Structure 1
Amino acid sequence: MYTFLNNKKVITVQEDATIEEVAGILTENNISGAPVINKEGNLVGIVTEEDLLHKETNPRTPGFVNILGAFIYINGLERYREDFKKLAANKALEIMTTDVITVDGDTEIEQVAALMVDNDINRVPVVENNSIIGIISRADIVKTLARRF
């Protein structure tokens, strides 16, 4: 069990927070992402610096093939739609990632590390009954591994 590395002081963002408020929270707390919660305190998403970068970039163009004047999209259309949605976002609810990978308090550190690597994510909320009870970052895992050696 990894409870000794579970950061229980979780900095969260309200789902109705403005993009400016989200950027301020991340900056003030020197973090690169935060769970998004609703008024009941339940996890509804996660917002990261990467999400905020979409406000300053153009949507990534999907791959397509032009056959007799018709565009047939072969990949990236969903990513383009997500990019465009984030470009127009004004609130955390509109820019956050909703498909959040979480763990419970009994998950082994090796499983958490594998989730991070396999899904290219930097933090994993620890959730119990849809409420956040902690968060684990890549730095937390590295610190724990350093203590083992």
Structure 2
Amino acid sequence: MAQHIASEIMEKAFVTAGPDTSVYELVNLFVKNKVTAIPIINDEDELVGIVTDADLLYKKVKPHVPHYVNLLGASIYYSGISAYNRGFKKLMAGTAKELMTKDVIIAAPDAPVEQIAGVMVAEHLKVIPIVDKKHVVGIVTRGNILDELYQEYGES
């Protein structure tokens, strides 16, 4: 069985953003580029964090439906939809810096794919940035790992 390394399977074209990128713009980047994670880089192009689609969905928004009581078939809201709307507007005005995970699990270009897969499973990660001298050179997604498994075992 051939031992493959990160640089052989990683995506070399990926989307990055800066710490000051607005959450609104991040959402736009996720939707337009159909990505699940965006590495956040500083002015020196060094990795400083990562924002995932899950961060946007769970971390700050928590789009919990306003509490309501069903009274004789009529729904009466008592926590107010306007509070939710204000919260959402506030979130959209935020920046990547406020939302990003700063302790990013990364791998080197020569890291064995098997190890990366193990870390992804153990840490419930969808993406691992591949970093060389603080610079993101690629990203490995679950899809890349699955492709690799398919290539390797699909033939046999």
Q: TM-score range by the shorter chain?
A: 0.7 to 0.9
2:122 is equivalent to residue 118 of structure 1 = yes
Name the TM-score, length of structure 1 as normaliser: 0.77
TM-score (norm 2): 0.73
**1:45-76 CA deviation, whole Å, 9 max, x = no partner?**
000111112332179xxxxxxxxxxxxxxxxx
Whether 1:106 aligns to 2:110 is yes
Task: Give the CA deviation at 1:89.
Answer: 7.2
Instruction: Name the amino acid aligned to 1:50.
Output: A
Show the 5 A alignment for 1:1-149.
Answer: 1-2=4-5, 3-53=7-57, 54-57=59-62, 90-149=94-153
Give the counterpart letter for 2:104 in structure 1. V
Cα deviations across residues 9-56 of structure 1 (Å, max 9, x unaligned)?
A: 121111110000000001100011111111111100000111112332
- In structure 2, distance between residues paired with 1:26 and 1:46: 13
RMSD across aligned positions (CA):
2.0
* Residue in structure 2 matched with residue 73 of structure 1 by the alignment: none
CA distance in 2, matches of 1:51, 1:30: 15
Unaligned runs of 5+ in 2: 65-90
Shift of 1:144: 0.6
Q: Distance in 2 between matches of 1:90 and 1:40?
A: 22
Identity rate, percent: 34
Is 1:51–1:96's contact at 8 Å kept on the other side of the alignment? yes
Relative contact order (alpha carbons < 8 A, sep ≥ 6): 1 or 2 greater?
2
Counting matched residue pairs gives 123
Structure 1: which amino acid aligns with 2:11? N
Could you report, residue by residue, the CA deviation over 1:63-106 in whole angstroms, capped at 9, with x for unpaired residues?
Answer: xxxxxxxxxxxxxxxxxxxxxxxx69700001000110000011
Tell me which amino acid in the other structure corresponds to 1:30.
K
SS in structure 2 of the partner of residue 57 of structure 1: coil
Asked if structure 2 preserves the Cα contact closer than 8 Å seen for 1:89 and 1:95, the reply is no
Decide whether aligned partners of structure 1 residues 136 and 58 sit closer, same or farther in structure 2, where only a CA change above 3 A counts: same
